[in-house]
């Protein structure tokens, strides 16, 4: 039996949007906010524990 699910090609716009997801400068995880260059864990550490 053939696979019922056919892979749908995503438009280039969607691919471009995925490439633009910012990653954390420390651990390369996705950023938790668009205006912050860190993931939540690194951001928390930098903000609160480094004082």
pLDDT at residue 19, rounded to an integer: 58
Residue 11 in domain: no
Residue 37 in domain: yes
Tell me the residue ranges of DSSP E strands in 1-51: none
pLDDT at residue 13, rounded to an integer: 58
Higher pLDDT, 34 or 11: 34
Higher pLDDT, 42 or 14: 42
Q: How many structural domains is the chain composed of?
A: 1
Q: Choose among 15, 16, 23: nearest CA to 42.
A: 23
Residue 9 in domain: no
Q: Choose among 12, 10, 3: nearest CA to 20.
A: 12
Boundaries of domain holding 45: 22-49
Residue 28 in domain: yes
Residue 41 in domain: yes
Residues 4-33: tens digit of each pLDDT: 666 666 566 555 555 567 888 888 888 878
Residue 3 in domain: no
Model pTM score: 0.45
């Amino acid at each position: 039996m053939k696979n019922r699910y056919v892979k749908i090609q995503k438009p280039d716009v969607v691919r471009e949007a995925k490439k633009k997801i910012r990653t954390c400068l420390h651990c390369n995880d996705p950023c938790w906010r668009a205006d912050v260059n860190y993931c939540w864990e690194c951001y928390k550490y930098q903000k609160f524990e480094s004082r």
